[in-house]
Chain A
Amino acid sequence: MKILINLLKEAQDKKGYLSEKVMKGLSEKYDIPLSRLYGVATFYMHLKITPQGKNIIEVCGSPSCILNNGNTVEKSFEEELKIEAGETTKDKQFTLYKVSCIGCCDEAPAALINGKAYTKLTSEKVKKIIKELRSKESSKTKPRKKK
């Protein structure tokens, strides 16, 4: 059974966001008005119609995380990345969001990074995670040594 929200998510999985080209393609393929597709996509937090950073960081801002230094963790991400929640770094590697409860209240404070849960975060852990993500990216783009 074709479920629209699943189709949109699958399309987004491939390119990181729902570009105009992708939306027009979906509209044609499934005979759904473009206006309807945008109407649905703009409703949901996880569906993006603008380009995103390579790594998406979603820091939980709900009460259980706030009660466990969640605000400090959010500030740590902002300091490490030199952006505020809702922004993307200039090198387009990271986009940071502050989000509602992600269901990790027993391991607060927590964040989702590229859809994976990172829990019991501290400022030190945040620095380590960002460092690892950055070095992962730079090892991908490192030029091969000539023989």
Chain B
Amino acid sequence: MQILKKTQLKSWKKAQEIGAEKVLELLEKKGLVGRGGAAFPTAKKWRIAKSQPVEERYVVCNADEGEPGTFKDKLIIKKNAETMVEGIIIASWTIGAKQAFIYLRGEYEYLRKKLERQIKEVLKKAKTDIKIDVVRGAGAYVCGEETAILQSIQGFRGQSMYKPPYPPVEGLWGKPTVVNNVETLTCASQAILFDDWDTNLRLFSISGCVQKPGVYELPLGIKMSEIIKIAKPKNKLKAMSFGCFGGIMPINENMPVTNETICQNQCHHGAYSVILIDETYNVVDICLSIAKFYTYESCGKCTPCREGTIRMLNLLKQVRDGRASKKDLETLNEFAHHVEETALCGLGQTSGEHIITALIHFRKDFEEYTKEKKAKDKLKNKK
């Protein structure tokens, strides 16, 4: 796998030889974009931070991999942490930061001791005075959001903040801060060193109703039928959910999986977390599980998300219990849109995506539970 190739500090050596500006040009040429879900051009983010007229800057490696169905960063931390650390050193040096943090999610605490040893070893071999500290996450999905992660590091509740200002302009303690995903920083180190580094290869975390779940490195544009073949479904597949936040779409075996085709199905690729759902499940039950997740994880700061996630869950429960009409499905849809349009941060802004997309693609599953359908079935049974 490309992502597991080790750069062994040769990338750091090359970066120092060619200089910061050439590093940025190289990353632009290689087309590296963020791998945490937002796909922001990496070099652009580094340039913004670098160009701020201040002395102090920071780098944060976002290892708070909390999106359900995502486990690719865990693979990198377990098998190629040294290259990730090298990427952090290069990012820090390029933008002029002396201090970096790795925000490691609390659920990966069992990886921390080995990671800290590896950080120490790489820093010693790199002969740099850049410091890298591990911040111990404590079980808050919202801390995967860039402003929330900064609040957490600064010793506050991990609640999202208004943007602007954006972190590369004003982040930790008011200073320019680059927040990059584990995979992005690992790729940065590899893209600088390896001529044949391919930006088109992405890590797909595949799980759900399959016999061979796992992290697979696949090219964008691969046909969905290929992904299904690799994952080996247990039964005939019905739907594909992109984590919890990216929406649910039907299986279309002939579809090449690209950012565009996923978007055409009203979904978002995110970090390519693919949860495969088979025909033995009603999509409403999946939406219920996702809606519960959002009620737990809402940081509580803004009303649309804090109250809206609970209301969406309650409406879904009404659907599931057969107490909803077809008109209630319209209310649910409208409500999900409203929460997304008015919430403060990415969590709330995507909390209704599963409902909106499920109603578009799997309306029949919802109608199965409505009062009208139940009345129809009752009449049918009487005859």
A133 interface hit (Cβ, 8 Å): no
Contact between B215 and A63, CB atoms less than 8 A apart: no
Contact between B138 and A47, CB atoms less than 8 A apart: yes
C-alpha spacing A46/B140, complex, angstroms: 8
Whole-angstrom distance between the Cβ of B74 and the nearest chain A Cβ: 5
A108 touches which of B135, B159, B207, B299 (Cβ 8 Å):
B207
Residue among A4, A100, A116 facing the most chain B CB atoms (10 A cut-off): A100
A99 interface hit (Cβ, 8 Å): yes
C-alpha spacing A38/B292, complex, angstroms: 26
Q: C-beta contact mask, B57-81 vs A, less than 8 Å → 1, else 0? A: 0000000011111110010000000
Segment 36-71 of B: residues with Cβ below 8 Å from A: 65-71
Contact between B277 and A67, CB atoms less than 8 A apart: yes
Whole-angstrom distance between the Cβ of A48 and the nearest chain B Cβ: 10
Interface segment among B87-95, B104-112, B221-229: the answer is: B104-112
C-alpha spacing A32/B156, complex, angstroms: 12
Q: A64-B275, A116-B110 are in contact. Are A103 and B215 (CB under 8 A)?
A: no
Whole-angstrom distance between the Cβ of B68 and the nearest chain A Cβ: 4
B165 interface hit (Cβ, 8 Å): no
C-alpha spacing A8/B156, complex, angstroms: 12
Q: A100-B296, A103-B105 are in contact. Are A63 and B244 (CB under 8 A)?
A: yes
Whole-angstrom distance between the Cβ of A129 and the nearest chain B Cβ: 16
A22 interface hit (Cβ, 8 Å): no
Whole-angstrom distance between the Cβ of A128 and the nearest chain B Cβ: 20
Contact between B66 and A43, CB atoms less than 8 A apart: no
Q: A63-B68, A63-B289, A103-B105 are in contact. Are A4 and B155 (CB under 8 A)?
A: yes
Segment 1-57 of A: residues with Cβ below 8 Å from B: 1, 3-6, 8-9, 32, 36, 39-40, 43-47
- Identity of the chain B residue whose Cβ is nearest the Cβ of A107 in the assembled complex: B213
Contact between B138 and A9, CB atoms less than 8 A apart: yes
Question: Which chain B residues lie closer than 8 Å to A63 at the CB level?
Answer: 68-69, 208, 241, 244, 275, 286, 289-290, 293
Whole-angstrom distance between the Cβ of A69 and the nearest chain B Cβ: 11
- Identity of the chain B residue whose Cβ is nearest the Cβ of A10 in the assembled complex: B136
How many interface residues does chain B have, given as a range? 35 or more
C-alpha spacing A44/B105, complex, angstroms: 11
Number of residues of chain A lying within 8 A (CB) of chain B: 37
Q: A40-B157, A64-B275 are in contact. Are A106 and B139 (CB under 8 A)?
A: no
Question: Which chain B residues lie closer than 8 Å to A107 at the CB level?
Answer: 213
C-alpha spacing A75/B70, complex, angstroms: 25
- Identity of the chain A residue whose Cβ is nearest the Cβ of B294 in the assembled complex: A100
Contact between B69 and A64, CB atoms less than 8 A apart: yes
A102 interface hit (Cβ, 8 Å): yes
C-alpha spacing A103/B109, complex, angstroms: 12
A103 touches which of B65, B286, B297 (Cβ 8 Å):
B65
Contact between A39 and B208, CB atoms less than 8 A apart: no
Segment 185-242 of B: residues with Cβ below 8 Å from A: 205-209, 213-215, 241
B110 touches which of A5, A68, A117 (Cβ 8 Å):
A117
Whole-angstrom distance between the Cβ of B274 and the nearest chain A Cβ: 10
- Identity of the chain B residue whose Cβ is nearest the Cβ of A12 in the assembled complex: B138
B85 interface hit (Cβ, 8 Å): no
Q: A5-B136, A62-B293, A106-B205 are in contact. Are A46 and B68 (CB under 8 A)?
A: no
A102 touches which of B107, B131, B209 (Cβ 8 Å):
B107
B158 touches which of A6, A43, A102, A116 (Cβ 8 Å):
A43
C-alpha spacing A118/B152, complex, angstroms: 28
Q: Show 15 A/B contacts (Cβ-Cβ < 8 Å), sorted by A.
A: A3-B101, A5-B137, A5-B138, A9-B136, A44-B106, A44-B138, A45-B140, A64-B69, A67-B208, A67-B209, A68-B209, A100-B66, A100-B139, A100-B297, A101-B293
